[in-house]
């Protein structure tokens, strides 16, 4: 199994148990959707799987969780993971193109064609020089989605990736053609 989650229980220092006895596994090349009511812990689970939310002082995480045989924190350090937050977290001083290519730049890579393909896939060709403050919420989400795919991670975690999109863009990105066009390497993904 690529991701193995057994009997995960988690609570924050300030709250009652958020996750209780969560079990799932994900094979390489597969997609997993986590569904549930608002506030049930979907985002918390993604943050735990990504290693962003460690078992730190006050927080309590129990159970077995491995990503490709490693703890989530160690797997995150391999650079093979991308996480798209529920709220688009863009660099305010970078334009659309620069935000999408940022993960590539951090890794010391450039791929002009890949960036252009991603911009086209999310329909932002006319906005490449716009700053985030000049974009609608849905446009920011599309930039964040394209950026998540820019390094073709082995594991992509998406937290409510379509919530800020209008019905037309939800439909376009849900259709296999567009989403597969972005995800050319078919990275494993989980989303809430």
Can you tell me the distance from the alpha carbon of 97 to that of 9, in angstroms, rounded to the nearest whole number? Answer: 40
Looking at residue 63, what is its pLDDT?
64
Looking at residue 95, what is its pLDDT?
98
User: Of 78, 102, 130, which one is at a domain's C-terminal end?
Assistant: 78
The confidence band for 54, taking pLDDT boundaries of 50, 70 and 90, is low
Task: Tell me how crowded residue 178 is: count the other CB atoms within 10 A of its CB.
Answer: 16
**Does 164 score more than 70 pLDDT?**
yes
- Domain encompassing residue 103: 87-152+163-182
Looking at residue 147, what is its pLDDT?
92
pTM to 2 decimal places: 0.80
Q: What stretches of 78-186 show up as alpha helix (H) in DSSP?
A: 96-106, 112-121, 137-149, 167-174, 176-182
Question: Helix, strand, or coil here: 6?
Answer: strand
Is 130 contained in some domain? yes
Looking at residue 52, what is its pLDDT?
80
Predicted confidence (pLDDT) per residue in 102-136, tens digit: 988 988 888 899 999 999 989 999 999 999 999 99
Shared domain for 31 and 52, answered yes or no, is yes
Q: Which residues of 97-117 are buried (b: 16+ CB within 10 A; e: fewer)?
A: bbbbbbbbeeeeeeeeebbeb
Quick check: 18 and 41 in contact, CB under 8 A? yes
User: Of 17, 48, 78, which one is at a domain's C-terminal end?
Assistant: 78
Q: Based on the structure, what is the number of domains in the chain? A: 2
User: Of 38, 60, 78, which one is at a domain's C-terminal end?
Assistant: 78
| Contact residues for 116 (Cβ-Cβ < 8 A; gap 6+) | none
Looking at residue 129, what is its pLDDT?
98
| CATH number for the domain harbouring residue 23 | 3.40.50.300
Average pLDDT across the chain, whole number? 81
| Contact residues for 112 (Cβ-Cβ < 8 A; gap 6+) | none
The confidence band for 97, taking pLDDT boundaries of 50, 70 and 90, is very high
Looking at residue 51, what is its pLDDT?
80
The confidence band for 3, taking pLDDT boundaries of 50, 70 and 90, is confident
**Does 35 score more than 60 pLDDT?**
yes
Is 99 contained in some domain? yes
| The dihedral formed by the CA atoms of 135, 83, 173 and 122, expressed in degrees to the nearest 10 | 40
Looking at residue 169, what is its pLDDT?
83
Is 189 contained in some domain? no
| Contact residues for 167 (Cβ-Cβ < 8 A; gap 6+) | none
């Amino acid at each position: 199994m690529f991701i193995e989650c057994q009997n995960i229980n988690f609570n924050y220092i300030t709250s009652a148990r958020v996750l209780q006895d969560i079990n799932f596994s994900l094979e390489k090349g597969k997609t997993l959707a986590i569904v549930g009511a608002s506030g049930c812990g979907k985002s918390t689970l993604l943050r735990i799987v990504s290693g962003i939310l460690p078992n730190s002082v006050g927080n309590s995480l129990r159970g077995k969780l491995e990503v490709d045989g490693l703890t989530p924190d160690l797997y995150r350090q391999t650079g093979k993971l991308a996480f798209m937050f529920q709220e688009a977290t863009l660099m305010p001083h970078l334009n659309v193109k620069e935000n999408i290519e940022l993960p590539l730049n951090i890794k010391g890579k450039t791929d002009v064609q890949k960036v252009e393909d991603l911009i086209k896939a999310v329909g932002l060709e006319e906005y490449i020089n716009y700053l985030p403050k000049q974009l609608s919420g849905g446009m920011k989400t599309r930039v964040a989605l394209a950026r998540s795919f820019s390094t073709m991670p082995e594991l992509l975690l998406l937290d409510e990736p379509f919530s800020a999109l209008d019905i037309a863009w939800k439909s376009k990105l849900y259709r296999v053609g567009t989403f597969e066009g972005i995800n050319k390497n078919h990275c494993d993904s989980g989303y809430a």
